[in-house]
Amino acid sequence: MSAVALEDMVGRRWRKPAFVKNPVLRWTLILGFIAYLIAAFMTIEVDWGRVYDGLDRGWAFVLAFTSPDFTSRWSDIWSGLLESIVMTVAASVVGILISIPIGLGAARNVAPLPVYVICRGIVAISRALQEIIVAILLVAIFGFGPLAGFLTLSFATIGFLSKLLAEDIEAMDKVQAEAIRASGARWTQWINYGVQPQVMPRLVGLSIYRIDINFRESAILGLVGAGGIGATLNTAFDRYEYDTAAAILLLIIGIVMALEYLSGIIRARVQ
């Protein structure tokens, strides 16, 4: 039996089903996308001569990773790194402490409506503004230094943690909380024994994750004068000291990897 006869018998030949079922929508999306790409490429200005010139410097930078220079600017690197770590720790502590009440307030099954609206508003504002923009404003208000960075990171932590904590509280098991309430507990006891044990593992996991993010963000706050390793890194780039820049980047990558590894262990233990 030939292939043609088989196709006649079973009908149309099988084809891979398309990802977007509706053909009109599919073709509109594809054509729109192609049109956009053409428009984007037409308007983007690339100075290819400059790019070509830069390739040598790019290669020099890649080579710098094989011989990073930790020693000649060590005191600058160390003070910047210490400031970053200090900002991360302090901002994480304050951010977590503030985000717990706000997280409780932003959970509809715990808080009354007015509190809920206010707390959700705080979360929305904090999440909509990027760290770096908040840092610019806070530097303008509070002056240069790690205080502005500390406040920025705390503010960003509140939005992140409160939102996820509130979602976790809203998804909790009602039965356990009900049981505590039925035993005649006050509101604080209800939160402490009915809600907290359920969300604690996730809260710990998220907090550790946020410390990780805070450290990464603290590395760029120095670009706008809010303290930390970013200022040192910026100077190293400006002076084309690629070996020092490579050393700083390697330190950041190393610390982030260590934090990620640590957070993996801690999260595995608490869950």
Partner 1 sequence: MPVLKRDDTQIWRRRTTRESLTHWFGWLLGVAVFAYCWQIISASTTWFFVWDAPRIANDIWTRATPPRWEYITQLGRPIWDTLNIATLGTIIALFLAVPVAFLAARNTTPSPLFIRPIALLIIVSTRSINSLIWALLLIAIIGPGVFAGVIAIAIRSIGFCAKLLYEAIEEIDHSQVEAITATGGSRWQVMAYGIVPQILPAFAGIAVFRWDINIRESTVLGLVGAGGIGLQLSASLNVLAWPQVSLILIVILVAVVISEWVSAKVRGAII
Contact 231, 223 (CB under 8 A): yes
Q: Of the candidates 90, 123, 164, 172, which one interacts with partner 1 according to CB under 8 A?
A: 90
- CB burial readout 18-29, b (16+ within 10 A) else e: eeeeeeeeeeee
Q: Of the candidates 32, 101, 121, 143, which one interacts with partner 1 according to CB under 8 A?
A: 143
200 binds partner 1 (CB under 8 A): no
Q: What CA–CA distance (Å, rounded) separates 196 from 193?
A: 6
Between 21 and 112, CB nearer to partner 1 = 21
269 binds partner 1 (CB under 8 A): no
Cα 242 to Cα 52, 81, 246, distances in angstroms: 19, 18, 6
Site for partner 1 in 55-74 (CB under 8 A): 55, 57-58, 61
Q: Of the candidates 98, 176, 234, 267, which one interacts with partner 1 according to CB under 8 A?
A: 234
Q: Of the candidates 74, 145, 171, 174, which one interacts with partner 1 according to CB under 8 A?
A: 145
Q: How many CB atoms lie within 10 A of CB 54?
A: 12
Q: Got the DSSP string for 219-252?
A: HHHGGGTSSSHHHHHHHHHHTT-HHHHHHHHHHH
Q: Of the candidates 98, 118, 129, 180, which one interacts with partner 1 according to CB under 8 A?
A: 129
Between 111 and 232, CB nearer to partner 1 = 232
DSSP state of 13: P
What tokens were used for 111? 């808080």
24 binds partner 1 (CB under 8 A): no
266 binds partner 1 (CB under 8 A): no
Dihedral sign from CA coordinates of 67, 70, 71, 72: positive
Residues in touch with partner 1 (CB under 8 A): 16, 19, 36, 40, 43-47, 50-51, 54-55, 57-58, 61, 82-83, 86-87, 89-90, 93, 128-130, 132-133, 136-137, 140-143, 145-147, 150, 216-217, 219-220, 223-224, 227, 230, 233-234, 237-238, 240, 245, 249, 252-253, 256-257, 260
